[in-house]
Chains A and B, each alone.
Chain A
């Protein structure tokens, strides 16, 4: 089975540009998570969805960040405008079932904002 698929794998962009990160979750996983990982802050949960509905976006750092899940097989995380401090690895992850705790990560999108 295909795992969580993220794109782009690497992106370098200039400050002020819009960045869109994409995620295709594992089929059947009804939970989808966006995490950010930096050396300074470790892994942080940004937002998660259940059955395509955003449940908790309290981790979204500011209004420049937005996430959508228009259907069960696709989600986006958008940063507009991007800033150098947004440079990080962004992971999409999925889980199955309301009692679950195990999540499966994609390979990540490595973002550098210069």
Chain B
């Protein structure tokens, strides 16, 4: 079983819509959680960290459910520029020992 699993999508949504997707992780000892964004043919970039109480960054909301071992990302009022692959990343606390999910592809259409 992969340490981090994501629905690959694609999620095709119209501009202005809300889209949400999850990722699950297998190791209950995981301590830190992140969402990275990767545009087509580009490098991954940190989108946001995920905190236990949930957190927002503009139109993006991340939630963590430790009991069920999943992380979610919600994008409100989708923009064309949100089209990308979103990578779920989990760390077990060993510095920089990051496990990347395969990514969820989101396409926002006009």
Residues of A within 8 A of B (CB): 31, 33, 42-43, 45, 48, 91, 95, 97-108
A31 touches B43 (CB 8 A): no
Residues of A within 8 A of B45 (CB): 105
Q: Give Cα distance in the complex from A33 to B44, angstroms.
A: 13
A43 touches B44 (CB 8 A): yes
Given contacts A91-B43, A105-B44, contact A43 B100 (CB under 8 A): yes
Having A42-B100, A48-B96, A97-B95, one finds 8 other A-B pairs with CB under 8 Å, namely A31-B96, A91-B44, A95-B96, A100-B96, A101-B32, A101-B34, A102-B49, A105-B45
B96 touches A42 (CB 8 A): no
Q: In the complex, how many residues of chain B place their beta carbon closer than 8 angstroms to a beta carbon of chain A?
A: 17
A42 touches B101 (CB 8 A): yes
Closest B residue to A103 using CB positions: B96
B17 within 8 A of A: no
Total contacts A-B at CB 8 Å: 41
Residues of A within 8 A of B42 (CB): 107-108
B34 touches A102 (CB 8 A): yes
Return B46 CB to nearest CB of chain A, in Å: 6
| CB contact between A99 and one of B46, B95, B100 (< 8 Å): that residue | B95
Q: Give Cα distance in the complex from A100 to B94, angstroms.
A: 9
Return A24 CB to nearest CB of chain B, in Å: 15
Within 57-101 of B, Cβ neighbours of A (below 8 Å) are at 87, 91, 95-96, 98, 100-101
Q: Give Cα distance in the complex from A108 to B44, angstroms.
A: 10
Return A9 CB to nearest CB of chain B, in Å: 11
Closest 5 CB pairs of A and B: A105-B43, A43-B100, A42-B102, A101-B32, A101-B91
30 contacts between A and B (CB under 8 A): A31-B95, A31-B96, A33-B96, A42-B100, A42-B101, A42-B103, A43-B44, A43-B87, A43-B100, A48-B96, A95-B95, A95-B96, A97-B95, A99-B95, A100-B96, A101-B32, A101-B91, A101-B95, A101-B96, A101-B98, A102-B34, A102-B46, A102-B49, A103-B98, A105-B43, A105-B44, A105-B45, A106-B43, A107-B43, A108-B43
